[in-house]
Amino acid sequence: MKDNPKSAKTTRRPKAIRPVCTQNDGSSNYSTETHLIYGKAFTEKWDYSHHLVPPITASATFRLESAQRGAQGFVDFAHTVEGKEISKQAPIYIYDRLGEPNKDLLEDNLALAERGGTCVTFSSGMGAISAAIGNLVVPGDQVLAHKIMYGCTYELFTLWYPRYQIDVKFADLVNPVNLKKAITPATRVVYFETPVNPTLDLIDISAIADIVREENRKRKKANQIKIIVDNTFATPFCQRPIEYGADFVVHSLTKNIGGFGTDVGGAVIGPLSSRDMLLLYRKDYGAVLGTKNAWDALVYGLPTLATRLRSQQETASRVAMFLASHPKMERVNYPGLESWRQHPLAKKQMRDFDGNFAPGSMIYFVVKGNSPDKSRCRAERLINNLAKDAYTITLAVSLGNIRTLVEHPGSMTHAAIPATEQIKKGIDPGGMRLSIGLEKVDDIIRDLKEALDRI
Ligand SMILES: *Cc1c(COP(=O)(O)O)cnc(C)c1O
């Protein structure tokens, strides 16, 4: 066999590597962490058996070779048969928006990491959230959401959904009993983040799933309620909501899955039965992940996720302890702090791939002040001190970066929630969000200490 591309399919592959075939429930001889480096090793999605790293594709459209092959490609698209794509062969790629190798390979690995049946990627976290919900609701339906969430998701719910007659109700899901009271016959989706952005409150996923399961028993199949969890803060390294009964997980790949802050992206992970509609949604609404962005997450982001998170959360634990013992702190929310009221729940549901406690890299803290205004002023001073003088802490929105980032949710990421609502919902005027990076812990603490000394 010479270098004839037509014979690529029959190229003999090394036997030793072939048995590495992973199930999405994570069962295989190798750990999830290792799988996120190699993926399926060999895949029908693309033949790159001579590359160590999958090549990056830059082809918006694909050669179809014959009318029959072209027609077959359109038959196969969004036609998932349980266990296999319909053609049982290498997929027929048609056009980037329908699917291409870089996204497909990334999707395989994300589905594996989250223990889902399938994954479809989108151009951003917001693209993924819109698709996950847009797929499940029609006018007249209701989305029931936790009262606090990322500002743009809140605006999607309060600015846009009312225009399409999709009702959104908010409830405090930190106490799952409130969900029971809030469900109506119109409810189709229960939506929340855990840990919640920015307060790091935790929501008990299995307690929510128990209530929804009980309610669903009384309902016809078409009216079943689905649970969507935004797992961006935890990442699949720290928590896999599907294992606790969630139906769908959404991600902003822009954050800790991407990890380096170079690319915007999003993903929905869910049951295989949802794949076709998600693919059609992406095809027709068009929020398609760029190939370069997919490649970065595939080649740099996911393979380093576990290593980055382990280091970040060790640092976060020490930073949280430093802040919690600082006289100018009102309170510090970090799932790893033993003194924190939700620590037991954190220990129950935040676990890494090997079952170790994994409290993550995000910290929320509130500086003291005798009044909301005072507290807000001090937070502002602290942020300005850090922005001006800290070497290891950058004032910037976004999170899950190799660099430590700080921001003021009240005036930045959560500004879409009106100030009076923020206080009612529990976002403190003096609250700040810290995303821990890979710097040495003593350097971060030194910068924080110096900035705190001057407020
Ligand atoms: C950033 C973020 C999003 C939105 O993701 P983008 O990639 O910026 O669209 C959604 N949810 C959470 C929790 C986030 O932090």
Residue nearest (by alpha carbon) to ligand 1 atom 8: 125
| H helices present in 101-227, as ranges | 101-114, 125-134, 151-155, 177-182, 205-217
The phi and psi torsions of 431 (rounded to 5 degrees) equal -85, 140
Measuring from each residue's beta carbon to the nearest atom of ligand 1, which residues come in under 6 Å? 124-126, 150, 152-153, 193, 197, 230, 232-233, 252, 254-255, 264, 266
- Bridge partners for 405 per DSSP: 394, 435
Sign of the CA dihedral running 211, 121, 118, 114: negative
Q: How many angstroms separate the alpha carbon of residue 181 from the centre of ligand 1? A: 29
- Locate tokens 């935004």: which residue? 230
The pTM (predicted TM-score) of the whole model is 0.93
Distance separating alpha carbons of residues 62 and 92, to the nearest angstrom: 9
What burial class does residue 419 get, using C-beta atoms within 10 Å of its C-beta: 0-12 exposed, 13-18 middle, 19+ buried?
middle
pLDDT at 84: 59
SS3 letters across 190-208: EEEECCCCCCCCCCCHHHH
Domains, the chain, ranges and CATH?
A: 101-299 (3.40.640.10), 306-453 (3.90.1150.10)
The residue whose CB lies within 8 Å of the most ligand 1 atoms, and thus the one to mutate among 124, 133, 156, 232, is 232
Sequence-distant (6+) residues with CB within 8 A of 286 are 97
Structure tokens at 113: 């990491």
pLDDT at 172: 98
Catalogue the E-assigned strands of 208-342. Answer: 226-230, 248-252, 266-270, 329-333
Q: How many angstroms separate the alpha carbon of residue 125 from the centre of ligand 1? A: 5
3-state secondary structure of 79: coil
Atom of ligand 1 nearest to the CA of 149: 13
pLDDT at 6: 40
Helix (H) or strand (E) holding 127: helix 125-134
Distance separating alpha carbons of residues 278 and 119, to the nearest angstrom: 9
Spans of the chain, pLDDT less than 50:
1-26, 86-87
Residue nearest (by alpha carbon) to ligand 1 atom 5: 125
pLDDT at 416: 86
pLDDT at 67: 97
Distance separating alpha carbons of residues 340 and 346, to the nearest angstrom: 10
Distance separating alpha carbons of residues 230 and 251, to the nearest angstrom: 6
The residue whose CB lies within 8 Å of the most ligand 1 atoms, and thus the one to mutate among 197, 202, 262, 398, is 197
Structure tokens at 245: 């009964």
Atom of ligand 1 nearest to the CA of 264: 7
275-285 and 125-134 helices, crossing angle to 10° = 120
> Per residue in 110-139, pLDDT tens?
999 999 999 999 999 999 999 999 999 999
> Per residue in 187-229, pLDDT tens?
999 999 999 999 999 999 999 999 999 999 999 999 999 999 9
